Copies of this chain bind each other. A is one copy, B any other.
Amino acid sequence: MKQSFISKLKKIQRKTNSLLCIGLDTDVLKVPEFLFKYEDPQYEFNRRIIDATKDLVCAYKINTAFYEAVGEHCWYTVHHTLARIPEEIITIGDGKRGDIGNSAEKQAHQFCFDWEFAATTVNPYMGKEAVEPFLQRRDQCAFVLAVTSNKSAKDFQYLNVKGKPLYEHVVAQAKKWNTKKNVGLVVGATKPEELKRIRKIVPDMPLLIPGIGAQKGDLESTVRYGCDKHGELAIINIGRGIIYSSEGDNFAERAREAAIKYRDQINAYREQYF
């Protein structure tokens, strides 16, 4: 029997001593020119980032839109990228899907069976049926969007419902859906107060926290409020702030330096607060 998602996550976070997740949101327009001599420049970019950072992370997050925008070749790029990531590291397919039952099953087929990501991101607007197909296997986690890192998150997520913001109702439902212990939540690092509130409601759930780096989320409060009581179970995603550290041939080396810097900052805060 495969280990549960949470066991796998804890194991890798302890092994690499890292809560860092690198976002492989590889924009083909930003890939250094020398990689265009290869057949698949996006993959070549990812391969070098993975090889240079795999001892520093607990997870890689692939926002599939960056690949799907390139066309049919995305299938190979995603598969090849996933094959390059060591088995013990968490892979997150960030597609923000969700649909009525029979359609969501097809979406889950793509992410959980074909690509076989260890985790996915799912939009809760359509309710439980939209999320359920992503929760079939206990070794695969669905991160439900609760508070997103963008500015217009407030358009709906903060609306007051019975004295509480909408996102807390999402959190409450996600707790109910968590019968297999494979539900997580997405909470933006740009929203530290919300992170604090949510961690109190779900002390043992994995939280995927984007928004550090280009989006300017606060790392100290992300670590302090995002972790469980053992200083674990937060997956702190940094994409552009690491992978685009240099535009030159040395991009992977620079990405490694940035990853070390972030990992160490995160660990310094972990020591301070846990």
Chain A residues packing against B (C-beta within 8 Å): 25, 27, 63, 65-66, 68-69, 71-76, 96-104, 106-107, 109-110, 114, 123-130, 145, 148-157, 159-162, 166, 169-170, 173, 215
Check B123 against A152 for contact (C-beta < 8 Å).
Answer: no
Residue of B nearest to A128 (CB): B152
The residue among A27, A65, A173 with the most chain B CB atoms within 10 A of its own CB is: A65
Check B66 against A71 for contact (C-beta < 8 Å).
Answer: no
CA gap between A170 and B109 in the complex, in Å:
29
Check B148 against A126 for contact (C-beta < 8 Å).
Answer: yes
Q: How many copies does the complex hold?
A: 2
Given contacts A125-B157, A126-B150, 9 further A-B contacts (CB under 8 A): A69-B107, A71-B75, A98-B123, A100-B150, A126-B153, A127-B151, A127-B153, A159-B161, A159-B162
Could you pull out 8 A-B pairs where Cβ atoms are within 8 angstroms?
Answer: A72-B73, A72-B75, A100-B148, A100-B215, A125-B145, A126-B153, A127-B156, A159-B162
Check B153 against A109 for contact (C-beta < 8 Å).
Answer: no
Also in contact, A173 and B155, with CB within 8 A (given A126-B145, A150-B129): yes
List B contacts of A65 (CB < 8 A).
97, 99, 103-104, 106-107, 110
CA gap between A231 and B167 in the complex, in Å:
38
Least CB distance from A163 to B in Å reads: 11
Check A160 against B159 for contact (C-beta < 8 Å).
Answer: no
Check B69 against A106 for contact (C-beta < 8 Å).
Answer: yes
Check B25 against A103 for contact (C-beta < 8 Å).
Answer: yes
CA gap between A98 and B95 in the complex, in Å:
9
List B contacts of A126 (CB < 8 A).
96, 123, 145, 148, 150, 152-153, 157
CA gap between A157 and B123 in the complex, in Å:
13
Check A72 against B68 for contact (C-beta < 8 Å).
Answer: no
The residue among A25, A96, A157, A166 with the most chain B CB atoms within 10 A of its own CB is: A96
List B contacts of A150 (CB < 8 A).
100-101, 126-127, 129-130
Could you say which of B25, B76, B109, B161 contacts A166, with CB atoms under 8 Å apart?
B161
CA gap between A68 and B102 in the complex, in Å:
14
CA gap between A43 and B125 in the complex, in Å:
31
List B contacts of A96 (CB < 8 A).
97-99, 123, 126
* Nearest 6 CB-CB pairings of A with B: A127-B152, A127-B155, A72-B75, A65-B106, A69-B106, A100-B150
List B contacts of A68 (CB < 8 A).
106-107, 110
